Every structure is written in structure tokens, then in C-alpha cells.
Structure 1
């Protein structure tokens, strides 16, 4: 009986958070992010500015959140869902590639907006750090790691690799203005992510080989 009120409160909070994200994105697409105020977002979502500040620290965070919402949890869930006979490094790389390169049809315009506005790009990059905690939990569960450092260190390294790849992807080539549209330094985002994550493969392999859940030679 005691879990139902908590569940209802959490659902209401999640609904408010989603309403704020979607309102922020809609207003930014309609009027431009520089012309959107926190008060406008709160009013569009049917809440007070004070309530808005309980969920987001800036308008950029809310706008970016419409694209990145739950992405970190989906990455962790994808890693956790892979069978133990799938190499940990492969599970991590495949999860990151899937959830960081397919924004969905609904968010393609939003991603274009983010790539063409410096403040939104910065908020987008900062958001990559949020993957560390849920991913660490998924890695720890797969490894059944006896220590408290391995999984968080690996997850933090993965988050750093993702950020490096995105920084390269979002950096305009020399001579091209930041407002020119999608800007890719070289190659595709999947290629950049894979290249950034590849140096971490030996560490992921080493952690897996020392795991009591290691299924044996592949």
C-alpha cells in the first residue's frame, strides 16, 4: 500500500518534466531559442516558474532534454539486456551507437536546432555525463564486480569518449559559420563514436575477464 502514493508522485513528476521539455522545444522551434523565456516555458506547460526551476536550471537544459530524455537509461538498459555471452565491449558500443545516433523522426528538427546554436550545443555536450551513473550500474551487474571502482570508472570513461566524439561532430569546419546547419568534421557520428570508444575496449575486456560471471573462452 505504501508504494502506490510514491509511484503516483513519481508519475506526476515525470509528466511535468516531459511537459516542460516538450513546451521548451516547441517554443524554441517556433520562436528561436534566444526568444524563449523560462516564464514562457512554464506558462506553456501549465506550471509556475518556481516549479520549472525544480526541474531544470536553464532553458537550454530543458530544450536539450526533449532530445536526450531517458537516453541514458535506455543505453544502460540495452547493455543490461544483452546476454552474458555477448562481449561487454560490444554491448556497450552497440548500445551507445543505437541511442546516440537515432534521434527519431520527431526530434530531427530539434537536433538541427541544437547543432546550430552554441548554447544548446554546450548543454547537449554536458548532458553526456548523465550516462555514467545508470551505465555504471549496468556494468556492475554484468560483471558482478567485487570492488566499487571498476564499473564507475569504466562508465565515466565511456561518457568521456561519447563527449569527445560529439565535440568533434558538432565543431564547424574552419571557415564555416556555426549557423550553417549540420556540421560534421569528418566521417559520420557513428564512425566518430566507434573510434572514440575503441581505446576503451581493452579495459572493458580486462574487467570482464576478471568477472566471476565470465562465461569462459568465446
Structure 2
């Protein structure tokens, strides 16, 4: 069975330094968890390693502009046998931030997800997410984008053929969106744009490919011609 999204959970931080985000519904041992966290004030150092269960590993980071502009960290791990009900995240206590956690079932847990990123500090309603070369022809692709609105309400439109998994906004100046797609080819994918309702600054785009575990092959027994003849003469 190809890798696919089991469930997504999310969290919003409005001028607070920490939050507990619920484990995605139904997540079990062996699922790959991908956590996307963007905030708009402070430094990357304020965004500590998430806590709870098996150890989270850093997958990608990006910082824009000054300490008052968009920061993003992407984390991943393989869920262990004693995962908690919630995961702890930290950031600058004066910042707003958005978090999405995707639980992926049917993933190849031996392979680190492939990731690519891009960013642009100018204001626009278009937020690009980069192309990527997946590990196989049936990877699950996740795309996360974030940016800073000017204290206005934002909604997102994801690229055509992608499924929207999360559309988030915290306070007036932190927003993000997560989308997914089951790939059918190992060829490189292209850059695709998310569209926000209003202009955003300090835009980030991340594309993540999670490899599928694949289907085990059943080997047929090898029987020699001589053995077949002996059986026929028995």
C-alpha cells in the first residue's frame, strides 16, 4: 500500500511561548510523523525540538528578514510504541505561530523524507512551493507554505490536484497551509503556487516526499526438472 495521510492535527499560538498539539487521530507505531511550524517573531533558536514520544529529528529550517519576520522548522520521526496524546512545541513568547502535524501510514521508515524549500520576502498573494525528486514512483508528497499577512484574515487555495490538509492562521500575522498528493511517478515534480486571499510577506514554501514501504514480493519455490520426473515416476 502506498504511503498516505492517516490524519492531520494542528495548533495555533497567539503571543504564547509553548503549546501542546494533539497527536493526529489514529496514529500508531510505525507511522511517519511530519511537523511543520512557522512563527513570525524571534529566532530559529526559540523553536526548540518538539517533545513527546520517540525523538523528533530536524528536516529543514528557514528564516526570513529580521527577528520580526517569518521563521519555519520542519521536523519528522517514526512513531514509537509509547507515543503521548500530545506533543510539546516552543517558540518566542511574543510571537504568533502555526503548526500542522501529519501522520503518514504505509511509509518506508528506513528512508529520511526528501525535502526542498524556497522563500521570498516580497509581498504577493502567490506562495511557491518547490519541485522535488521523490525516492520512488508512489511517494506521498506534502507541501507546506507560510507567510505574514498584514493583520487581515487569510484563507488559502492549494494547487490543483492536491488535497488541502490544513488552513491555519494565528492572530493577525501568522498563517500557513498544508496540502498532500499521492504521486504516480518517480520523475521530478515542478514548482507549484498556493494562493492566499490577500498579500503575504516573508513567504516560505517546503515540499516533502515520504517514500512508500512497498509491497513484499512472494517468491515461488524453485523445483528442478529432475525432481518433477521423480515425482511422476513414484
Fold in common (TM above 0.5): no
More strand by share: 2
What TM-score, normalized by structure 1, do the two folds share?
0.32
What TM-score, normalized by structure 2, do the two folds share?
0.30
Higher RCO (CA-CA < 8 Å; seq separation 6+): 2
